[in-house]
Structure 1
Amino acid sequence: MKLKKTATGSITYCEQTPQEIEVTWFGVDFWRGHSAVTGSSKGRYTTWFVDASKLDPTQQQWVLRHYYRGGLIEKVSRDQYFFTSLKNTRAVAELTLLENLYQQGFPVPKPIAANVERNGLWYRADLIIERVDGAEDLVARLSKTAMTTEQWQSLGQCIARFHHHGVYHADLNAKNILITADKFYLIDFDRGEIRSPKANWQRANLDRLLRSFRKELAKLPQLAFTEADWQHLHRAYHSALASK
C-alpha cells in the first residue's frame, strides 16, 4: 500500500493504483471532464461509476464513494468525522480491510484508493474501489426474477465463509450483496472489522440481513423473497459453519 501526501494537505492511500493519482480523481467533476462517468447508484447519497480506462488502459470501471454521516448526527455534521489517526479514519480502515480480504480471495470488490482530507480536528474522506463486472444487488435482481434454491444455499455458504474467518459486516443487508452469473459478493465494509468468530455476533448479523429482506418486501410486494428462501439460506449457512 502506497501513501501519497498532496499539496492540498490530503492523504491518499493507494492499492494497485496508478502512481500519478491525484485528489481530483475522487470527485465526479474530474471524470465528467473526461466524459468518463458511466452511471450512478442513488441511496441516501449518490455513488458514481466511472471508466478509469480512459485515463489508464490497465484499469477498469471504478466506483467513487464519499463518506456521509447518517442518523441524527447528520443534521449537525453532514460529512465530517473526528480525527484520531489515519489508520482509524473510515476510508483507510475500510480500504485496509478490503485489501486484506481481497488478497485472501474473498468475494469483495478490488480496493483501489482512499482519500482523507484533514482540517484540524476533523476530516472528510472518499473511497475508490473497482466495480464488480456484470453484478447487481439482490434487491434489483429479486425485483425482476427469483433465485433458485441452489443460489440461496450458495449465498448462505458465502456468508458463512466470512463469519468463520471473523469478518464482521456492519451493515449486512440485501443491497450490500451483489450477484453475478455465478457468484455472490459482499460490498460496503464501512465500519467493518475482524472479530473473534467465537464472540457470538454472527446471529445478530444474520438477523439484520433477514430484517432487510422483509423491509424490502414490504416496499416491493413483487420482490421474489419468501420465508422458505430464507430457510434455504439459513440451513446452508449453519451446515457450512459446522463443516469448518
Structure 2
Amino acid sequence: MQIKKINQGCIATTKACPAPIEPQWFTHAYWQQREAITGSSRGRYITWFLQYEQQDWVLRHYYRGGLIEKLSKDAYLFTGYHKTRAVAELQLLEQLYDEGFPVPEPVAALVQRSGIHYRADILIKRIHGAQDLVAALMQPLSPDEWQSLGACIAQFHQRGVYHADLNAKNILLAEKQFYLIDFDRGTIKTPQAKWQQSNLDRLLRSFNKEKNKQPQLHFSAENWQDLLKGYRAQMARS
C-alpha cells in the first residue's frame, strides 16, 4: 500500500489501483457524469456499484453508527493517516487478499481532513456474481454449504482476523464460495476463544434477526449446528 498526500488529506492505493487516481473518483457524482454507475446497495446508507474500464468496483463512504451518529454522521477524529478507518481497512484487505483469503480486492482509499476531523471513502473490486447471505437464503443451503461457511470463518479466526461486524449481510456467496466483506474496524490479533466466540454469537444474532424480519428465510437451528460442525472441524486442524 502506498500513501500519497494531497491537499487536506491523502489517497492510499494498492497495486490494483490504476494511476493516476484523483479525489473526485471517490464521489458518486463523478461516476454518474460518466454514466458508469451500474447499481447500488441500500442499507442505512447507499453503497455504489460502478464500472471502470472492464472492472466492476464498489464505492463506500464511511458513516458513523450508534448514538454518536446523532452528533456527527460521518466525521471522525484524526490521529494519523494509518489510524483512519479507510486506510486501516484498505491495508488489512490488501494483506488478507495477498494471503489468499476470500475477501474483495482493495483498490484505493481517500481521507479528507477538516481541522481535527476527517471523512473517508474506499474503493474495492466487486465480486462477480455474488449476493449477500440474506439474499442467498431465499433458497436453502445444503449441510455441506453450511459446513463450508463455518470452515471459512474458522480460517479467518485461525489467522487471528477479527471482523468487527460479522453478520449475514457481510458474508457473500458466489459460485459455492463464501467471502467476508466490510472489514471496517477489523484487525489481526492473537487468536483467543473469547473474541472468536463473540464473533460467532454476533453472527447467530444476525441470522435470528433476519429470520424474524423475513420468516421465509431458510435458516434453522440445524443449519447453525452444521455451520458449527464445519467451524470446529477446521479449528481442530490448527
TM bucket (normalised to shorter chain) is over 0.9
Deviation at 1:120, TM superposition (A): 1.3
Alignment of 1:105-116 (within 5 A): 105-116=100-111
How many Å separate the matches in 2 of 1:23 and 1:186? 27
Find the partner of 2:233 among 217, 221, 239. Answer: 239
Aligned to 1:124: 119
How many Å separate the matches in 1 of 2:76 and 2:25? 21
Alignment of 1:176-191 (within 5 A): 176-191=170-185
How many Å separate the matches in 2 of 1:198 and 1:220? 33
How many Å separate the matches in 2 of 1:224 and 1:235? 18
How many Å separate the matches in 2 of 1:166 and 1:183? 21
Deviation at 1:200, TM superposition (A): 2.5
3-state secondary structure, aligned to 2:164: coil
Give the TM-score of the pair, scaled to structure 2: 0.98
Deviation at 1:10, TM superposition (A): 2.5
Find the partner of 1:69 among 64, 73, 90. Answer: 64
Deviation at 1:20, TM superposition (A): 1.1
How many Å separate the matches in 1 of 2:112 and 2:237? 45
Q: Deviations over 1:132-177 (max 9, x none)?
A: 010000001112x111111000000000000001000000000000
Aligned to 1:13: 12
Aligned to 2:81: 86
Deviation at 1:182, TM superposition (A): 2.1
Aligned to 1:26: 26
Deviation at 1:13, TM superposition (A): 0.3
3-state secondary structure, aligned to 2:194: coil
3-state secondary structure, aligned to 1:217: helix
- 98-107 or 12-21: bigger deviation: 12-21
Deviation at 1:18, TM superposition (A): 1.1
Indicate whether 1:154 and 2:148 are aligned.
yes
How many Å separate the matches in 2 of 1:198 and 1:141? 30
Aligned to 1:216: 210
- Kept in 2, the 8 Å contact 1:95–1:127? The answer is yes
- Structure 2: gaps (5+ residues): none
Query: Residue type of the partner of 2:43?
Result: G
Query: Residue type of the partner of 1:129?
Result: I
Deviation at 1:62, TM superposition (A): 0.4
3-state secondary structure, aligned to 1:19: coil
How many Å separate the matches in 2 of 1:188 and 1:18? 22
- Structure 1: gaps (5+ residues): none
Give the TM-score of the pair, scaled to structure 1: 0.95
Corresponding residue pairs, total: 237
- Kept in 2, the 8 Å contact 1:40–1:49? The answer is yes
Query: Residue type of the partner of 1:213?
Result: F
Deviation at 1:243, TM superposition (A): 1.5
- Kept in 2, the 8 Å contact 1:69–1:77? The answer is yes
Q: Deviations over 1:207-237 (max 9, x none)?
A: 0000000000000000000110000001110
Query: Residue type of the partner of 1:107?
Result: P
Query: Residue type of the partner of 2:119?
Result: R
- Kept in 2, the 8 Å contact 1:10–1:23? The answer is no
Query: Residue type of the partner of 1:66?
Result: H
Root mean square deviation of aligned Cα:
0.9
